[in-house]
Amino acid sequence: MFKESTQLKTKSTSIATKKLVLSALFIAFGVATSTLLVFPIGASKCAPVQHFINVCGAVILGPGYAVINAFLISLIRFIIGTGSLLAFPGSMLGAALAGILYMIFKKDMAAFIGEVAGTSLLGGICAYFVARLFLDNDTAALFTYVLPFFVSTIVGSIIAYIIIKQLRLMKVLKKDNFDIQ
C-alpha cells in the first residue's frame, strides 16, 4: 500500500513539474516574441502569439495555468514596454473562457471558440473600461477594441488549433484530460 501511495505521489509530482516547466516556457515564449510579432491597431498592441499560448495552455495545462500565464505575459510585456494595459482583460478572459469551455466539452474547437469569444468580445468590451479608467481615453466607444482584438486572436487561435491537432495525431497529447505524456 505504501508503494502504491508513493508511486501516485511521484506521478502527480512529475505531472505538476511538467506543467510548471511548460508554463514557464509558454511565458518566456510569449514575452520573447512580444517584440517581434506585435502589430498596432489603434491603441492596442495585437500579439497573436499570446492567443496561441492561451489556446495551447487551456488545452494542455488547464484554465488556471492558462489565466496565470496570460496575466504574467501581459504583466511582463507591460513592464518592459512591449504591451499595454489593454492586454490584461483580453488575454486573461480569452484564456479563462478557452480553458473553461475545453474543460466542459473536451473538444479542441471549444478552446478555440472560447479564446476568440473571450478575447475579442468580452476582453474587447472590458478593454473599453480599462481605457476609460486608466488610460484617460474619452473617445473610445464600448466596442472600439472588439475588432482589433478579434484580428489578433483569430490568427493565433487558428495556429494553435492546427498545432494541437498535429500533437494529437503524433500522440503527444492525450485526448481526455489536461495531462501531458
Using the CB atoms, write b or e for 28-58: b if 16+ within 10 Å.
ebbbebbeebbeeeebbbbbbbbbbbbbbbb
Q: Can you give the pLDDT at residue 6?
A: 57
- 164 forms beta bridges with none
Comparing 108 with 5, which gets the higher pLDDT? 108
pLDDT average, residue stretch 47-61: 93
- Tell me if the pTM is above 0.95: no
Comparing 3 with 155, which gets the higher pLDDT? 155
Say yes or no to pLDDT of 2 above 60: no
In whole angstroms, give the CA distance from residue 71 to residue 38: 17
